[in-house]
Amino acid sequence: MKHVARKRFGQNFLVSPGVIRNIVAGIKPTAGDLMVEIGPGLGALTGPLLERLDHLHVVEIDRDLIARLRQRFSPERVTIHDGDALQFDFGALGENLRVVGNLPYNISTPLLFHLATFAPSVRDMHFMLQKEVVDRMVAEPGTADYGRLSVMLQYRFDMARLFVVPPGAFDPAPKVDSAIVRLIPRPASMLTVRDEALLAKVVLAAFGQRRKMLRNNLRELVDEAAFQSAGIAPTARAEELAVADYIRLANMLATS
């Protein structure tokens, strides 16, 4: 019996064999890798991954899909974690973890922020996401796509968009293009923020109203003297600052 995609879980199932081959080729799984797949769905990617892996962890919230996965794959090859990826402790799986998945578009941003907290345990991540989200993730300063997601993820990861996937590769077909993105955690020596929660607070406030100058958006956090000390023009707008500028500003506030 065909599984009907559920909107509340943001389900769009990958059905294109060519796209699946390209994703697996981009991931380059090897037998001994510790890998977890988020939202395996009907197993379109799970099967091809298991052709190269000894074992695979999967995180799935849909009980009907879990039942199908249990029928198709043996527990010796696939460990199924029943639950919400937004609540899942990826760090509990071990070190040097590889994370893959066709992420539900309706929770992609909070899920990316959740996954970022496990970066020290991760080797790399490969995700299918809405193309506009990927464009925001890898955006350069001074562009319309550059924002809070860009700054916070670029602080923790080196990222690259691998290729675009058209709507016809899915069933049901989404109304937008998708893209594959690779995230590689940056080494600890490059994570120079003294207080990451403060960085997040500054970035969130800076992009609160994009059209306004930083002196307005950050008036509760930064005074004119602090802007001057950090070498940042208070008349600039949030998208004009590079990640390094936000790091410098947050570190200055953390020590003042």
Determine what percent of the chain is predicted with pLDDT higher than 70: 96
**How far apart are alpha carbons 11 and 109 in whole angstroms?**
16
pLDDT in tens, 132-150: 999 999 999 999 999 999 9
pLDDT digits (tens, 9 = 90+) for 91-121: 999 999 999 999 888 899 999 999 999 999 9
pLDDT at 30: 98
pTM: 0.92
Q: Which domains does the chain have, with CATH numbers?
A: 7-190 (3.40.50.150), 196-255 (1.10.8.100)
Contact 111, 105 (CB under 8 A): no
pLDDT at 59 over 60: yes
Residues 182, 218 contacting (CB under 8 angstroms): no
